[in-house]
Structure 1
Amino acid sequence: MLIGSPKEIKNHEYRVGLTPESVKELVMQGHEVWIETEAGCGIDATDEQYVAAGAKIVDGPDPIFAECEMVVKVKEPQAVERKKLREGQILYTYLHLAPDPDQTKDLLDSGVTAIAYETVTGPRGQLPLLKPMSQVAGRMSVQAGATALEKAHGGRGVLLGGVPGVMPGKVVVIGGGVVGFNAAQMAVGLGADVTILDRDPEVLEKVGTHFEARASTRFSNAANLYDAVTTADLVIGAVLIPGAAAPKLVTRETLKDMQKGAVLVDVAIDQGGCFETSRATTHADPTYVVDDVVHYCVANMPGAVARTSTYALNNVTLPHALRIARMGWKDALAADPHLAEGLNVHKGEVTYEAVASELGYDYRPVADLLR
């Protein structure tokens, strides 16, 4: 199979779909790989390293979108890239379609077969292709929140760990999954006063057992959520409904009762955000203020630590890429029901139920395509 990886063009996105090491694995199995020139510069991977791994370097993205059978990316294709996609082509990347009707329409119009990293499942219902980026984003959320809390960045001027004789900052993590767990780890490590909210008793038990007295847990109902958020210095939104838009858990009205200069970090922004006042921002302009509350809503947080993120991502995406390249998308999905969960769009039809429901499209079950 002819496989290509273009340079990412989203604002301050430095990751790349394939590392030189991943290219070598694909080439060793008999596939041809094209890499756009300087696609790996954000992770310090040179064109020469890609060539040494067996790749062909091409000038610009057009040859990849025009000729490659499978396009491997990191972020969802931008509008200019979506115009280059074509029927019969496989797109393998993060998509996050539920809050993005424009992208969904363009993918449907293109006729592409789009497999989304974020909805591929694992044997225990986990999301293994999303997990490493959730780990990165969870850990980064505390770094970003701590910076935004500084007075020069509009925050309350609170040091999360405090100092002897001064109370630490209060950190509230909404959601105890992968993002929330990693955020709590970082916040606890800094010495903050940490509270984790979740609706799943098993999750609360797990995080409570892990952190013991170093963090508190609360059941996430409306009263507890309001109490925690309105007394917090930093609130981290870490909720996820696979493939669907995130629920709006913190309302505009609640913002008015928060502390002036408190910070919201919305890690769920890729799925539309879990705060009513959230809107996607970029690394170039990461924050804005609503009702004296600082919002950090960068939609590609892991792109800031591109080398770590790219290698962590390739560790989990490459095995599926190898299978798709060897078997073709249809046989690969038929052989692996977990990979089949990743198919979101195929030849003008929505094949992921949560996306179809959210955006009002007819739903075509993947099983129908594999018969």
Structure 2
Amino acid sequence: MSDTNIYPQVYDSKPAAEQKHGASGIRETSSDQIAPRVWVHCSFPLACLAIAAMSAAVMAFISCSIGQEMSCLFPSVTTTVDSPPCDLATVVLADYPSLIDAQNKIVKQLLEGPVHGSALSRNILGLARMQVTELETLVCHSYPQDQHLISELRSKFTLHARSASLGLHWLASQTWYIVGGFEARSEYALQKIQDAHHSQFFRSLIRLLFSRAVKQLSPNDAVLKLFTDHMEYLSAMAKRLIVQVQACIKELQELESILVALHDASTWEEQSIPHWHTVLLRGPWSCLGGRQGHLFLLKSVGNELKGVSSILSASLLALQEFNQGLEFIRRTIDSDACLIPVEMQMESIQAGLKVMNGLRLGAKEKKLHPPDDVPDM
């Protein structure tokens, strides 16, 4: 009886689903246990295949880049990739070295030209103010027919001297503004070229996978557009300065013509005054602070005007040559005759920024920056 009571208890301990379905229940349980094991065994080969594919893509990119760089250095070395000898991501159609060199030359000329002319304009105003005071005494003791002429010339001289000084100060302030714009443009170009150069790996990887997407991500068009915009900005600012320099030169020429007429009238009046009258007035006028140096002061103002005119004329010639240089660079770029590596482009911009910063600091140390106001006559 004990043996017959054991077996029903063993069969009753099995699950009801197994008793109902029999062998099919045993197969369902075994398939649920085997499926995760199959996935684990299959995922390892798939991961190995994915790693191998990525490694092959990286090796293909490295071999392609090395082959293209070798073809740039040695034209006789060819690659199996159907592409130009030099990759556009490494070599771009721009000439920043020539552009930055021309930019630094014109900045140096501008800081030594219009800005220095603005500093000389204060000397012109000071001498003109002293000359007006001297001419007042000459007018008081001149003949009635000459008083009107000298007074009219003196008023014109005062008006044109202040107008010329204001023009020189405005030109100097515009020069500082344009030099700052040149520096900002160079920094912006350097940042954009660096961004385009650093994303070269991702562009080349996309080129291996999607050849049509390369045209949208190629840096050559972006750098070329950046270079063209930079060159157009320099040309526009140079033309703007040329107009202002020409206006200042014209104003100085008018002032110089008035000064010549005033010098002739003062010389004639100085010779017409009796000698005893001049000797009699020399003592009281010296006590009041006067110097009776009419002709001397006129010559001093004339020398200052000639100095400023020569400086502005040199700056005008430099600006015109700068515009011609930009036209030559533009023709070179349009003819597709200038392919320079990106590294050389960035190095030239960095060197140009250092030179420009040094020129600006040197000009500020010489106190050539324009003053805030213009002294009154």
TM range (shorter): under 0.3
Higher relative strand content: 1
Q: Which has the larger Rg?
A: 2
TM, length-normalised to structure 1: 0.19
TM, length-normalised to structure 2: 0.19
Whose RCO is larger (CA < 8 A, sep 6+)? 2
